[in-house]
Amino acid sequence: MKKDFLCLTDWSRDELEQIFGLTRELKAKQKRGEEHHLLKGKTLGMLFEKSSTRTRVSFEVGMFQLGGHALFLSSGNTQMGRGEPIKDTARCMARYVDGVMIRTFSQSVVEEFAACSSVPVVNGLTDLYHPCQVMADLFTVSEHRANWRELNYCWIGDGNNMANSWINAAAVFGFELRVATPDTYRPDGTVMERARKMGARISYTNSPREAARGAHVLNTDVWASMGQEAEQKEREIAFQGYQINTELLKTAAADCLVMHCLPAHRNEEITDEVIEGPHSIVFDEAENRLHVQKAILATLMQ
């Protein structure tokens, strides 16, 4: 039966930890230079309505390393970008490729595409969720801390797709999560309510210092995401005090880890000193997009 990777809460903890296990295996093989052509002869169609660096490169390289092929399609160069119904594009692409990854604005686009597609669909990012990124983030923490499920995590900044994805992760894996945002930039209320019904241990505050106090993992993202550029100045004012900097780290655990999904606006939501400092695992998590996504693709497309 076809399965998609659209939202973390569609998957059980055991299923996601199996993906982590496969990630470790594939990463070790890649580091040893061993072939791991689990998707030999298969093709991944990649639909992009949003620009990308890490998503495109990691999926495309990942398919190559798995023995398959990735096909890049920009929305402006497809019929879907000219108004073709999503269901028509989905049905046709499913007859050409073995899986589809979509990076777009609306979660409803990914969900409708998946509902009409006979091949697996992966959410490469929407305005609501970024499940591949949070999987890479958690896998990275697990490489640095064996007790990663027992750590205290905090999210500081905008209640965006990454904040929503961390909330979903807390619901599935059961770790403690503290979220600090300005009142007018809270995470999605429906996402938060569902997570709490699942038993998630999530606390919300307006105070970054309160969220960071004793935290083992601190995470943030840009204050204005793609499509919000016109709000940049307004958001800079609203998010004053929500920067991850050396002073904030003094309130966290002494051996805390700092994450950012990138791209970063250095010295805005996070200082250059912190992102280049000893607590940062930012570039480890960027690398692990490749390894985690290979495991997701292999799980869905073998």
Q: Which residues are catalytic?
A: 103, 130, 133, 221, 261, 289
Question: Is residue 56 annotated as involved in ligand binding?
Answer: no
Compute how many other C-beta atoms are within 10 angstroms of the C-beta atom of residue 277: 13
Asked if residue 262 belongs to a known ligand binding site, the reply is yes
What DSSP designation does 207 have?
Answer: -
* Alpha helices (H) along the chain: 13-32, 54-65, 86-94, 107-116, 131-144, 161-173, 189-197, 208-212, 232-238, 246-249, 272-275, 282-301
Ligand-binding annotation for 74, yes or no, is: no
The answer to whether the annotation marks 221 as part of a ligand binding site is yes
Residue 130, marked binder: yes
Tokens of residue 169, six digits: 């992760």
7 labelled as ligand-binding?
no
226 among the known binding-site residues?
yes
Is 98 annotated to bind a ligand? Reply is no
DSSP string, 166-195: HHHHHHHH--EEEEE--GGGPPPHHHHHHH
Residue 256 marked in a binding site: no
Residue whose tokens read 């905090």 = 154
> Is residue 160 a known part of a binding site?
no
CA 257 to chain centre: 17
Measure the CA dihedral 258/51/266/185, to 10°: -70
Binding residues for carbamoyl phosphate, as ranges, are 52-55, 79, 103, 130-133, 261-262, 289
Binding residues for L-ornithine, as ranges, are 161, 221, 225-226
Binding residues, as ranges, are 52-55, 79, 103, 130-133, 161, 221, 225-226, 261-262, 289
